[in-house]
Structure 1
Amino acid sequence: MSHLPLSGFRIISAEQYGAGPYGSMFLAQLGADVIKIEPPGSQGMGGDTARAVGPHYLRDGESLYFQAFNLNKRSLTLDLNAPEGQAIFRKLVATSHAVANNMRGDLPAKLGLTYETLKDMNPAIVCAHLSAYGRDNERARWPGYDYLMQAEAGYCLLTGDPGGEPQRMGLSMVDFITGTIHAIGLLAALVDAQRSGLGRDVDTDLLSAAIHQTSYPALWYMNEGDVTQRTPRSAHPTATPSQMFKAADGWIFVMCQLPKFWTIMVEKIGHRELSADPRFAANKDRLANRAALTATLDALFETQPMAHWQELLAGHVPVAPVYGLDQALDSPWLRRTGMRDSVDHPDRPGMQVLANPIRINGQRLPNRPAPLLGADTDVILTDLGIGADELAELKLAGIV
């Protein structure tokens, strides 16, 4: 692409691990110059902790996990705890549009990452904060992770079969949605800063984002006292049949969210008599007799493999095969839509990565591999006017 939407914007991100880097990767893929600040160190002890997350690594201990969150960024090693590091950081702020972080709630103020600290250097700077529990309450010093939020926000007792043990989701979805919200907040403040010339602080936190995602079940409870419960087969709490069914070679997910889909489905599978059965006539009847309906449809769906039912129902009734991760990623559909991509990492030519889900003018966003630790330090500091001798001294002192 000749011009990406965020080209020309520079965002400094003091980030590590998952949520913050996930959000800032979207900004980098949309064209922003995202400079990832990482603590310096030797013998593999420096940098984002995600660089060391196993079990799969490139050469020299670089993890594939790190690549999942840091495509298209630049890496600057810098000790923000040292006065010399702070001086460099503030000089960089003067040429940037936003500062992002996903630190523990009490750290941004201590490390000078807030608007109050930086506005004299750059009145238009946007300071976006992502923490576990927020920066302005008694939990500000608490560390926190995705799985804890799934537990406290009620997800684990909404997931799995009734009567079973609490279950978390198989992926860190709270991290991903909070990182996305973090990026949205940053962009909104950035738009206003371009108009007004004034930046601001923008905050989100993992637990608030997790609670917000409880969505309509939250309103059902807060207004009607209705506590949504776990359902068999991951069924929708009110619409039915909208759940998994057994096929001859696995499982399929069929979603008759609207009454018309039930009518179409029974016609397509050749069993119109089901719509005349008083137990299944209307959604309320099907919901009251869900166990009987599940047994009836299982017996039908088990006669053919998943692919048969998908071909028969696709485009008429919402349906999908229940894939393992390997089947999902090897699906020809991902090639068809361009959701699989490859980049040439210095340690892994042709490294397989996922494309960004956003398209601009019908095209997927371009990808570059995540940077090696400190790969861009010399260039960034030279651009700030730091000479070779000073740079050598900073390295010797462990500042960069």
Structure 2
Amino acid sequence: MNGPLDGLHVIECASFVAGPTGGMTLAQLGAEVIRIDPLGGGSDHRRWPVVGGGTGPAEAESYYWASLNKGKRSVAVDMRSDRGRELVTALVTAPGADRGVLIDNVVGRRWMSNEALVARRPDLIHLRVQGYPDGRPAVDYTVNAEVGIPQITGTEEGAAPVNHVLPAWDLVTGLSVSTAVLAALHDRTRSGRGAYVELALADVALAGVANLGWLSEAAERGRERPRHGNHVYGSFGTDFACSDGQRVMVVALTEGQWAALRTVTGTAEVFAALETALDADLARESERYRLRDTIAAVLKPWFAARDSATVAAELDSARVLWGRYQGMLDVVAAHRADRHPVLAELKLPGGAAAITARSPMRWNGEHGEAGQAPDLGRDTAAVLADVLGLDEREIGGLVDDKVIAAPLPG
């Protein structure tokens, strides 16, 4: 794929979300990313969601794996064999100014330790994704539990922690992977030095909540932030039901947004009277948060008296900050109607249709191509020939010895 990183070569030996997201980000910017998996695929090769919803054959293709690894070249090697390990090491440490970049999340492979690889290429850029900084395993859902977010998520009446569905820390870690790789490349260009960068998922989560000021608040107050359902913390924002049952999320962070909301709903005089009665200044964000339930009660009848189409037209006309609650089928329908240029169709190797995404970065107004879905091991022979210079006889010998699989047709 052409792009600003055209010519850069990256080796990726990572599974699940964070590492592959970093590699995919670089691939969509034009880098050649070679993903290396064990023969038969790694632990994430058939991860849900899969074609058929899991009701079909056990080997059903994974929408997840195909989309996170689109635009990459796929190499499958028996990494339990000495020859397989040597092939991987040679790919990682191949010479060239635009080579020698590795993204991995491997644990316990001494032959892939930074020390072993740097001995072969001193200027190697090695980005290792970890669970915890000490190397212990973790996933998004476990670190999210440990930084306190499920304890402040959910309804006011709830007692049990509420886990999130989106693996947000994995995605942030993946983007941090691509940032770290580009920073290390910039430094290597200037200094000739390589870099070993360790990036722990737990640290990303801790940094996230700390940088938002949430830990400082808890330390100062000596108690957890209370749950408050769909209300926006520290400001005014909540959901309302329209007359047709559709719900919308309305937010007023700024004085201008608050004024627009009052004007379109015809409640300016009501809120002025409330300010006098309650000795409040609703121009202040903190006051709108303190009186959020009262404000919501005043606004509720306006939404309940109108269907969602009318609400949408009037809120848009008044430039109110709002969003419509939708299911994913609604997003699919909008994509089919060409309303989301960032989305794209993806054909899986087995023929199934999938929806994936182009890069959200628009370069000169263009998202660029999404990239093709990989087929496990399809590029093994070609990569070994291109990067390591192996000839047909040598590749045939590796196939015969089951170090690599036979090249796939095409």
Using structure 2 for the length normalisation, give the TM-score.
0.86
Match of 2:254 among 251, 258, 276: 258
> What is aligned with 1:119?
118
Name the aligned partner's letter for residue 152 of structure 2. Answer: L
Shift of 1:78: 2.0
Shift of 1:308: 2.4
How far, CA to CA, are the matches of 2:336 and 2:304 in structure 1?
25
> What is aligned with 1:395?
399
Name the aligned partner's letter for residue 50 of structure 1. Answer: D
Match of 2:162 among 144, 147, 167: 167
Structure 1 stretch 303-312 or stretch 278-287: which is displaced more? Answer: 278-287
Answer yes or no: is the 8 Å Cα contact 1:220–1:227 preserved in 2: no
Match of 1:54 among 48, 53, 62: 48
Match of 2:300 among 298, 301, 314: 298
Answer yes or no: is the 8 Å Cα contact 2:349–2:374 preserved in 1: no
Answer yes or no: is the 8 Å Cα contact 1:72–1:368 preserved in 2: yes
2:157 aligned counterpart, secondary structure: coil
After superposition, the CA RMSD in angstroms is 2.4
Answer yes or no: is the 8 Å Cα contact 1:125–1:193 preserved in 2: no
Query: How far does the alpha carbon of each residue in 1:93-126 deviate from its partner, in whole angstroms, 9 at most, with x for none?
Result: 224231001234xx36x23241x32234323320
Shift of 1:334: 8.1
Shift of 1:73: 0.5
1:49 aligned counterpart, secondary structure: coil
Residue pairs, 1:1-400, within 5 angstroms: 3-40=2-39, 46-57=40-51, 61-92=60-91, 93-95=93-95, 96-104=99-107, 107=108, 110-114=110-114, 116-134=115-133, 137=134, 140=135, 142-164=136-158, 165-214=160-209, 215-221=211-217, 224-225=220-221, 227=223, 229-240=225-236, 242-248=237-243, 249-276=245-272, 277-278=274-275, 279=278, 281-282=281-282, 283=284, 284-314=286-316, 316-331=319-334, 335-348=338-351, 351-383=354-386, 384-400=388-404
Query: How far does the alpha carbon of each residue in 1:298-341 deviate from its partner, in whole angstroms, 9 at most, with x for none?
Result: 22211123332232223722111111222233236983340221
Shift of 1:354: 2.0
Answer yes or no: is the 8 Å Cα contact 2:357–2:370 preserved in 1: no
1:225/1:273 CA distance change after superposition, 3 Å: same
1:31 aligned counterpart, secondary structure: coil
1:73/1:113 CA distance change after superposition, 3 Å: farther
Shift of 1:357: 0.8
Q: What count of residue pairs does the alignment treat as equivalent?
A: 384
How far, CA to CA, are the matches of 2:287 and 2:188 in structure 1?
55
Shift of 1:80: 3.3
How far, CA to CA, are the matches of 1:333 and 1:311 in structure 2?
23
Answer yes or no: is the 8 Å Cα contact 2:21–2:174 preserved in 1: yes
1:253/1:334 CA distance change after superposition, 3 Å: farther
Shift of 1:152: 0.7
Answer yes or no: is the 8 Å Cα contact 2:172–2:204 preserved in 1: yes
Name the aligned partner's letter for residue 262 of structure 1. Answer: W
Answer yes or no: is the 8 Å Cα contact 1:13–1:100 preserved in 2: yes
1:364 aligned counterpart, secondary structure: coil
2:150 aligned counterpart, secondary structure: coil
Shift of 1:348: 2.3
1:68 aligned counterpart, secondary structure: helix
Shift of 1:350: 5.5
Shift of 1:226: 6.0
Where does structure 1 lack aligned partners over 5 or more consecutive residues?
41-45
Structure 1 stretch 75-84 or stretch 197-206: which is displaced more? Answer: 75-84
Percent of residue pairs bearing the same amino acid type: 26
Query: How far does the alpha carbon of each residue in 1:115-143 deviate from its partner, in whole angstroms, 9 at most, with x for none?
Result: x3223432332000111112xx3xx2x32
2:213 aligned counterpart, secondary structure: helix
Query: How far does the alpha carbon of each residue in 1:251-280 deviate from its partner, in whole angstroms, 9 at most, with x for none?
Result: 211111112221221111222223312246
How far, CA to CA, are the matches of 1:272 and 1:300 in structure 2?
13
1:167/1:196 CA distance change after superposition, 3 Å: same
Answer yes or no: is the 8 Å Cα contact 1:94–1:121 preserved in 2: no
How far, CA to CA, are the matches of 1:333 and 1:75 in structure 2?
30
Answer yes or no: is the 8 Å Cα contact 1:75–1:372 preserved in 2: yes
How far, CA to CA, are the matches of 1:230 and 1:365 in structure 2?
43
How far, CA to CA, are the matches of 1:271 and 1:152 in structure 2?
43
